[in-house]
Amino acid sequence: MESATKVVQALLPAGKEYVCAIRLHGDVSEDKFRNVVNEFVGPIYQRPPLRSSVKRRLRIREIYYTELKEIEGRNGLFRVGSEAGTYIRKLCHDIGEVLGCGAHMKELRRTRTGPFKEDTLANLYDVVDAYHFWKEDGDESFLRSVIQPMEKALEQLPKIFVRDSAVDSICHGANLTVPGIVKLESEIGVGSLVTIFTLKNEAVALGSAKMSSEEMYSSNHGIAVEVDRVLMEPGTYPPLWKKHKEKIE
């Protein structure tokens, strides 16, 4: 559980989806309402609202899609997928500005963060029941259906797979060097947040890429990833030096 909470770092930059209730301050036609909402797909400029936890500077955020699902008088309900850090309250305000009547956000519900959607959620009653089934009957099936592996939260990040011999040193905080890499995904850029995996698809650590994918492929040495957060318990894989010692003895 303690290790699993460390992957929250990977979800912060992940895309989000929301269902939002918007209230218009004047009357507009349904066609105009739909057209304006659709205009906000793509990169948009946003300045965080006065009540925000970040500096109020102009920035660009990507709106992946919008879908106006219901309209009732001056009330609308729309679904929006956006880049992390998008203020939906500000989006509603801007929609109202373009419509010429003004608008504000009435309600907001997040329906997706990265790979996690509403249909993957489990309530606490299910978790308690699953735990008791496991403790009393040894039945893990229900428990596995409500508690997902932490690797699920890392699906959207580029992955680098390492040799078994490199795992324990990384678990002790060592950075990943090129010789320890077996395979990797393409399109990794310098500074990208990446996940280090074993060949058995077990998450080892999160880190910042110090080389691009092409550089990792072509280099024979050097630090490929600077480890920021270790996810695997040290000792899960035997350390290489211990193997060498056993051979000598």
Task: Encode pLDDT of 188-238 as tens digits.
Answer: 999 999 999 999 999 999 999 999 999 999 999 999 999 999 999 999 898
CATH number of the domain to which 64 belongs: 3.30.70.3190
Closest CA to 87 of 117, 57, 114: 57
Q: Are residues 237 and 169 part of one domain?
A: yes
Band of pLDDT at residue 166, cut at 50, 70 and 90: very high
Q: With a cut of 60, say whether residue 124 has pLDDT above it.
A: yes
Contacts 24+ apart (CB under 8 A), 65-70: 65/41, 66/37, 66/38, 66/40, 66/41, 68/33, 68/34, 68/37, 68/38, 69/19
71-73-74 Cα angle (round to 5): 90
Instruction: Check whether residue 158 and residue 94 sit in a common domain.
Output: no
Instruction: Judge if 93 and 171 occupy the same domain.
Output: no
Query: Is pLDDT at 244 greater than 60 in this prediction?
Result: no
Its domain, for residue 236, covers 151-241
Mean pLDDT of 237-242: 70
CB atoms within 10 A of CB 26: 11
Instruction: Determine the Cα–Cα distance for residues 131 and 140; give it in Å rounded to an integer.
Output: 9
Same domain, 105 and 170: no
Say yes or no to pLDDT of 247 above 50. Answer: no
pLDDT, tens only, 63-94: 999 999 999 999 999 999 999 999 999 999 99
Asked whether residue 186 is assigned to any structural domain, the reply reads yes
Model confidence pLDDT, tens digit, residues 28-63: 999 999 999 999 999 999 988 777 777 888 999 999
Domain contains 212:
yes
Whether 221 maps to a domain, the answer reads yes
The reply to whether 197 and 112 lie within a common domain is no
Residue 16 in this model has a pLDDT that exceeds 90: yes
What pLDDT shows up at residue 245? 45
Q: What is the CATH classification number for the domain harbouring 172?
A: 2.30.130.10
What confidence score (pLDDT) does residue 55 get?
80
Is residue 4 domain-resident? no
pLDDT category, 3, cuts 50, 70, 90? low
Could you tell me if 18 and 95 lie in one domain?
yes
The number of distinct structural domains making up the chain is 2
